Each structure stands twice: as structure tokens, then as C-alpha cells.
Amino acid sequence: MYNVRSMKAEEFISDEEIRETLAYADANKENVALIDEIIAKAKLGKGLNHREASVLLACEIPEKTEEVYKLAEQIKKDYYGNRIVLFAPLYLSNYCVNGCVYCPYHLKNKHIARKKLTQEDIVKEVTALQDMGHKRLAIEAGEDPVNNPIEYILECINTIYSIKHKNGAIRRVNVNIAATTVENYRRLKEAGIGTYILFQETYHKKNYEELHPTGPKRDYAYHTEAMDRAMEGGIDDVGLGVLFGLDKYRYEFAGLLMHAEHLEAVHGVGPHTISVPRIKHADDIDPTAFDNSIDDETFAKICALIRVSVPYTGMIISTRESQAVREKVLPLGVSQISGASRTSVGGYAEPEVEEEVTSEQFDVSDQRTLDEVVNWLIKLGYIPSFCTACYREGRTGDRFMELCKNMQILNCCHPNALMTLKEYLEDYASEETRKIGMKLIERELEKIPNPKVKQTASDHIHDIAEGKRDFRF
């Protein structure tokens, strides 16, 4: 039985409820009166529930889809402005005891290169990342209690935060590791992590178990209830995601929104981020073996509807996607992207050569340097942001959500983005990027509505040019 407030996975992600939702969506996908009613509700900026959003996803009326796209673009501007936050993944280890059939890290894969970073390796990798200009990392590791225990993860976090190189520093470490205990989540919180990220992969329980035939990850309930344990452990910023292509996208979409609704209902705080990865080619993995892949247009529609349905959430798109796809979905709701990513274990200080046996988790479609990505974003009219201020000022969980929902972005996140962009331009940018970036900053300063905030931001940007760093509102 469906119960959004239940702490049992099969009740807050109810298969029966999802199937009824999909049937309802099919029955009403051409019901223009209802569709208009749902879009009108979405325009209020308070979100949609999984049933309402599923109707819009099923709807194939072109002009209604266009309405959704325009609305998604407006909501993105209202809640997040024209900022795009940049980060990089850092893979610590690809040792893994699970048998996930869609991941090259699976236990039975004997020809992938197994690697694990030492603390000395991490110093080299993070120094290389700092030299690019990165300030925010997402650390990743396979599930292996022997090779990758929680103590190893905590040591890595401590090492990352300790590295200060020239003007560089990693100011926020987000963590994407396997579901764990409340006590371990407390330890991660104490280590100073930002967001805890865990992809559900698929919300379809039967298929989930088939896709995870062996290993601790096979426990659907333990995995699905991880966010509740994380929040119990004091982590108030959590990130959801499904791997589109493993199951029917409409089923996954409904399940994803139900999970967001559950977190909001139980904890008063929905997901800080939602990621939208699609299955990609990797060592020992052929994406064509999964018959639920989605085309770019459907992918764009999903992105738009996540933004419309969960307006407050950050939306992440990785380098799994090409430049063209990224450009298509940026205006539809995406607020975070990775730049110059390596999905191998290490690979920043010394990139893997193609002839070697790879340790990559998946093929990277966007191969550009960070400066090329920053330059591209500026030319598109976005502010590349390296900001981590909210976390370091304690504006997490419901405090961040209040800021976001009250649309105070222009007086807080907007100037923070400009100041961190100025740091990047001074310390790391190419000459062309520096020139167009400064013009962008000048234009964007004028958009800050509070005169005092505008003046302070302008003063800090001048101070950054004089060698000072790390200002924040």
C-alpha cells in the first residue's frame, strides 16, 4: 500500500501506485483541460506530484510540450538564475564486491584494471584538479568492505580538505558511495561532506534484483532507504538519481518523484540534487544490451519535467552526455555540470593512455578542458560558478531550501558565483576566457537588486584582482 510517509521502501515507492499512475497518465495524455490545469498549477512554482507530472510526460501534444519547456526555463531562472555550478568527480577506488550487470566495476570483470588511490596519489590528483580551477569534488568508490572501508573514505576526505596549492583549495567534497549505516553517515557528516549522493539505478524492485544478482547492493530496501538513514545521521543535503535505460523511463520518472515527495514529507527537505545519467558504453558493458534507452528529445523532456515538478532541486548532468545534449538541456533546468572529468581511478595527474587496460567506469562524451567548458558557458550567457558558500555558511537542508524557495538567489548565490568566477579568471583562465568573463561579470553585477549587496560584491571582485580570495555572502 502506498504511503508517502512510510519508512519502508516498498510503501513509499509503491509498485501498485506507479502502475496506477502510468495508467492514469495514459488515460489522460490527450485530456487538454486536465493538462492545462496541471500546467497552470506548475506555473505557481510550487511543483507537481508524480501523477500530475506523469500526465505531462505521457502527453505528446507538441504545443503542450513546448509550454512545459518554456515554463521549465522560467522556473530555472526564478530559482537558480543563470548560474551553472561546476564540479569534478574523483574516483578513489574501483574495487567492488557487487555484481551489478550494467557497471564495469562488477566483481566478475577480470580485465578491467583494478586501482585504489593512496593518500599520496590523492595529493597529486587534487593538486592537478586545483591547478585546473576546481573547488568542488564528488568522490566515488566501489563497494568493498576490505579495500574501501569507511575509514579509507574518511581518510581520503581529510586529505582532500588538507591540500592547499597556490590559490587552490577544494572547498566542498560531495560523496557518492554505497548505502551504509546511520553511524557511518554521522561520521561522514563529521568529516565535513557536502551532499551525500546515491543513485537508485532503478525503482522497479524485481528488475533491480535481477540487475544486482550478487553483493550487498542486491538488498533493494536497504539501498532505497539509504537517504532516510543519511538524514537520521545528520546529513541534510542528499542527492537522488536513476540510471535511465535500465527500465522503462516513465516508471523511473514516477519513482524518482515519489522518492522526492517522501523525503519532503518525512524530513521537511527534498533532494538537494537530482542527477539524470543515461547508461553509456564501458568496459565489459554494451548499452545496447539494455532495451530501455531513451532518445535525446525524451531525455530533454524528462529534464524539463523534473525542473517543473521539483523546482527547488539542483539538477546535475555529467560528462556522459555530449556538448550538444548538454547545451540542449541547460536552459531546461540543469544547474550543475562536471567539467574535464575523468571516470578512471585517478587520471587527472597522469591521464590513462588508450592502449592501457582502462579503469574507467564509463566513456566520457564531453572531452573538453575545464577552460573550454567555462568559455562555452560564458558565451551561452551562463555564469560558471565555483561557489560553495552555502555549505560553509551552514545554509544546508531546510536553510538552503528556504533561500531557494523564496527566490533570494540574486542577492546571495548570484554574487557568490560572480566572485568565484573572478577567482577562476585571475588564477586559471586563458586570455580569451578572462576577457569574455570580465565582460560577463560587469553585466551580471547590474542584475543584483540589493544596492548594498551589489556594492559589496563589486568591492570584493576588486579585492580578488588585488590578490585576496574566498569572499562569500
Q: What is the DSSP letter of 313?
A: S
Contact 241, 197 (CB under 8 A): yes
Clarify whether residues 164 and 228 are in a common domain.
Answer: yes
Contact 200, 241 (CB under 8 A): yes
The domain boundary, picked from 60, 76, 92, lies at 76
Query: Given this model, what pLDDT does residue 66 score?
Result: 98
pLDDT, tens digit, 9 for 90 and up, residues 439-453:
999 999 999 999 999
Query: Given this model, what pLDDT does residue 289 score?
Result: 58
Clarify whether residues 168 and 201 are in a common domain.
Answer: yes
What are the helix and strand counts (H, E) for the chain?
20, 11
pLDDT, tens digit, 9 for 90 and up, residues 251-306:
999 999 999 999 999 999 999 999 999 876 444 545 555 556 789 999 999 999 99
Clarify whether residues 189 and 315 are in a common domain.
Answer: yes
**Mean pLDDT (whole number) for 421-426:** 98
Residue 173: other Cβ atoms inside 10 A: 25
Higher pLDDT, 61 or 287: 61
Q: Domain for residue 383, yes or no?
A: no
Query: For the chain, what percent of residues have pLDDT higher than 70?
Result: 93
Query: Given this model, what pLDDT does residue 389 score?
Result: 86
Residue among 89, 98, 277, 106 at smallest CA distance from 175: 89
Clarify whether residues 322 and 222 are in a common domain.
Answer: yes
**CA-to-CA dists, residue 322 to 3, 278, 316, 337, angstroms:** 39, 12, 14, 12
d(C-alpha 219, C-alpha 222), whole Å: 5
In the three-class reduction of DSSP (H, G, I as helix; E, B as strand; rest coil), residue 222 is classed as helix
Characterize 402-421 residue by residue with b for buried, 16 or more Cβ atoms within 10 angstroms of its Cβ, and e for exposed: ebbeeeebbbbbbbbbbbbb
pLDDT, tens digit, 9 for 90 and up, residues 215-253:
999 999 999 999 999 999 999 999 999 999 888 999 999
Clarify whether residues 159 and 56 are in a common domain.
Answer: no
Clarify whether residues 287 and 435 are in a common domain.
Answer: no
Query: Given this model, what pLDDT does residue 355 score?
Result: 47
pLDDT, tens digit, 9 for 90 and up, residues 16-39:
999 999 999 999 999 999 999 999
Clarify whether residues 97 and 66 are in a common domain.
Answer: no
43 has pLDDT over 90: yes
**Mean pLDDT (whole number) for 112-137:** 96
Q: Domain for residue 88, yes or no?
A: yes
Query: Given this model, what pLDDT does residue 393 score?
Result: 84
Clarify whether residues 168 and 245 are in a common domain.
Answer: yes
CATH code, domain with 261? 3.20.20.70
Angle at 38 between CA 35 and CA 41, to 5 degrees: 150
The domain boundary, picked from 367, 397, 430, lies at 367
**Mean pLDDT (whole number) for 71-94:** 95
Q: Hey, what's the cell of 294?
A: 531513451
d(C-alpha 144, C-alpha 178), whole Å: 9
Query: Given this model, what pLDDT does residue 397 score?
Result: 81
pTM of the model: 0.94
Clarify whether residues 149 and 266 are in a common domain.
Answer: yes
User: How many domains does the chain contain in total?
Assistant: 3
> Which residue is it, cell 545534449?
325
Query: Given this model, what pLDDT does residue 282 score?
Result: 46
Clarify whether residues 155 and 265 are in a common domain.
Answer: yes
Q: Domain for residue 425, yes or no?
A: yes
Clarify whether residues 55 and 96 are in a common domain.
Answer: no
The domain boundary, picked from 53, 76, 99, lies at 76
Query: Given this model, what pLDDT does residue 320 score?
Result: 81
Q: What range does the domain containing 431 cover? A: 389-465
451: left (phi over 0), alpha (psi -120 to 50) or beta: alpha
pLDDT, tens digit, 9 for 90 and up, residues 359-382:
555 456 788 999 999 999 999 999
Q: How many residues does the chain have?
A: 473
Q: Hey, what's the cell of 172?
A: 566542498
d(C-alpha 440, C-alpha 421), whole Å: 10
Q: Domain for residue 171, yes or no?
A: yes
436 has pLDDT over 80: yes
Query: For the chain, what percent of residues have pLDDT higher than 90?
Result: 81
Q: Domain for residue 376, yes or no?
A: no
Q: What is the DSSP letter of 344?
A: S
357 has pLDDT over 70: no
Clarify whether residues 273 and 361 are in a common domain.
Answer: yes
pLDDT, tens digit, 9 for 90 and up, residues 371-419:
999 999 999 999 999 999 888 888 888 888 887 777 777 789 999 999 9
pLDDT, tens digit, 9 for 90 and up, residues 160-186:
999 999 999 999 999 999 999 999 999
Q: Domain for residue 379, yes or no?
A: no
**Mean pLDDT (whole number) for 125-132:** 98
